[in-house]
Amino acid sequence: MSKRYGLCDKFRFFRRKLHRHQNFFNRKNEVSLLTGLFFDARGERVIFGGAERYIINLGELLENEFGKSLTVYQRGATYEPWVRQYQNITVIGLPVGGKYKFLNHVFHRLVAPADLTIYNQLDLAIPYCHNPAIAISHGIYWDSPQAGEAKKRRMIKHYIAGLRNVNTLISVDTTTLHFFRGTIDCRFVNGKSHYVPNFVDTEIFHPSKDLSTSSGLTITYPRRLYEARGFFLMAEAMDLLLDRYTDITLCFAGEIDNEKVRRELDRLISSYPGRISYCLTDFDDMATVYRTSDVVVIPTLYSEGTSLSLLEAMASGCCVVATDVGGLTDLVIDNYNGVLCEPTVTSLTEALAEVIEDTEKRARLAACARETVVASFGKQRWQQKWRDILKAHLDV
């Protein structure tokens, strides 16, 4: 028997085992959401990232507006399932041995269709798909420089197949929609897709100080520390800027991705004692991080949608500097509500030097950033768009 069919036998075994836990199947008033990770694969800790915050807010909306509980299914590290609870969300680790590629297969073998199934990436909706189904695109993810041409073609093929399987696509950025409209029949894309940009709660995230008169500058990188989010780009630029400007400090606030990142962070901290800090902050405490920041940097290299971190920084009255990657250009208008730069060390360094030196510009950009998110990216606006879409799928 091949390895593949051996795994299928394991799935049949686990399905019999899971039937002892009735909360895994046929849950009434439930919406299922399939994602890669919410907790880590062993279910030991929540991943504090933008996608996870998105899921939490979606769960709150489903419960408060529709009386539906949200159950999140993700990959588990072993071939034994686990169950965790985060606030009002049940999270189930599926027995896939840590393998993302088995998620679709195992989910559809083990989990009965709920009132609605949400796929947190389009490739999770293939080859099988429960109906009714909504998929969320959090941005194009095949633009990694490590992906060869053959892999990129395969990922794009999966993305398009997922779009064909689901009833509705929610895209957080326009880049995804532009891609689809230029690749397949735009009428088909327009008929099942909605642009619902990311959001920020402007009552929680708000300014707390006058940037035009503050002494010294705190620059914050508020995202997961890894290559795609521009950690190494940021580190190289700050090596130049910390030597040039003695009154600036730098804060990294996010998950550390791997040991290479940890070593580079340790090098920076030891090279600039007292000027670089690191913290891993819970969702509820991020507002405090922004309120103690003057400049927030989103130096993404690839695989970007519309960053929750960027919106939170804008709402908090920070001056933002972002690279012109993915959906970041949906949020920042260069020289009006922030600074857009190319994803290179030279461009990022020049952009940061400009806002470090120009106090009046920094304050003007920060004020316009706050006005932008209040007008166009507030949480209530996001909730209303999702509310309308959910009503159509839940028959309420």
In this predicted structure, the answer to whether residue 365 has a pLDDT above a threshold of 80 is: yes
Nearest residue to 311 via CA among 34, 39, 45, 57: 57
Cα–chain-centroid distance for residue 91?
A: 18
pLDDT for position 280: 86
CA 330 – CA 333 distance, rounded (Å): 8
H-assigned helices in the chain: 3-18, 50-66, 103-110, 149-165, 174-183, 186-192, 231-244, 259-271, 286-291, 308-315, 328-331, 345-357, 359-376, 379-394
- AA identity, residue 318: C
Indicate the pTM of the whole model: 0.86
How confident is the model at residue 3, as a pLDDT?
Answer: 38
Our measurement of the distance from residue 24's CA atom to the centroid of its chain's CA atoms, rounded to an integer in Å, reads 26
The per-residue pLDDT for range 195-221, each reduced to its tens digit, is 999 999 999 999 985 554 445 899 999
- Model pLDDT for residues 313-337, shown as the tens digit of each residue: 999 999 999 999 999 999 999 999 9
User: What Å distances lie between residue 370 and 207, 276, 299, CA to CA?
Assistant: 8, 27, 20
**SS3 annotation, 261-295:** HHHHHHHHHHHCCCCEEEECCCHHHHHHHHHCCCE
What is the average per-residue pLDDT within 366-371? 97
Tell me the per-residue pLDDT of 46-93, one tens digit each, with 9 for 90 and over: 887 778 889 999 999 999 999 999 999 999 999 999 999 999 899 999
Q: What's at 343, amino acid-wise?
A: P
- Domain annotation for the chain: domains and CATH numbers: 3-200+380-394 (3.40.50.2000), 217-377 (3.40.50.2000)
Cβ–Cβ < 8 Å for 125, 172: no
Instruction: Kindly report whether the peptide bond that precedes residue 127 is cis, defined as omega within 30 degrees of 0.
Output: yes
Q: How many Å apart are CA 27 and CA 253, to the nearest integer?
A: 37
Q: How far is CA 96 from the centre of its chain?
A: 23
